[in-house]
């Protein structure tokens, strides 16, 4: 499989990081430790958004375009945010691919699944 063949649904169902965060805790409602994984996930996502803000704050003040290193960092951080979304999906039984389609269609007034692929 190539990265272009990877689907959101496949990535969500086959996360290599879906091992328990704490012994016996895999889902957000288990072991009397509600939401510990969601909290951990949210903190990582917030940290990532802060890193993105730092990249764009620098560009805002100095002007110009992002450097090659900036673009690589932006890509890494975007991937981290997708990972966080997949993690929420697994924690709460949310089909992220389905919700993504619904949100895009709702926000843009299009039928996403019937669009021509380019």
Domains and CATH numbers, the chain: 34-110 (1.10.287)
pTM: 0.79
Rounded average pLDDT per 10-residue block, the chain, 118 residues? 88 69 53 66 94 94 90 96 91 91 92 75
Beta-carbon contacts of residue 22 (< 8 Å; ≥ 6 apart): 31, 33, 36
pLDDT of residue 54: 94
Q: DSSP assignment, residue 35?
A: T
pLDDT 10s digits, 31-47: 544 477 788 889 999 99
Measured between alpha carbons, how far is 102 from 99 in angstroms, rounded to an integer? 5
- Which pairs from 88-96 meet CB under 8 Å and 24+ separation? 88/38, 88/41, 89/12, 90/12, 90/15, 90/18, 90/27, 91/27, 91/28, 91/37, 91/38, 91/41, 92/28, 92/38, 95/9, 95/12, 96/8, 96/9, 96/12
pLDDT of residue 26: 54
């Amino acid at each position: 499989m190539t990265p272009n063949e990877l689907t959101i649904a496949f990535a969500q169902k086959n996360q290599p990081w879906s091992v328990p965060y704490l012994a016996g805790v895999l889902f957000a409602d288990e072991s009397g430790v509600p939401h510990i994984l969601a909290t951990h996930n949210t903190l990582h996502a917030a940290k990532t958004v802060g890193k993105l803000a730092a990249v764009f704050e620098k560009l805002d003040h100095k002007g110009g375009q992002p450097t090659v290193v900036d673009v690589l960092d932006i890509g890494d951080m975007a991937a981290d945010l997708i990972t966080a979304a997949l993690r929420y999906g697994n924690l709460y039984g949310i089909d992220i691919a389905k919700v993504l389609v619904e949100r895009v269609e709702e926000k843009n007034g299009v039928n996403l699944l019937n669009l021509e692929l380019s």
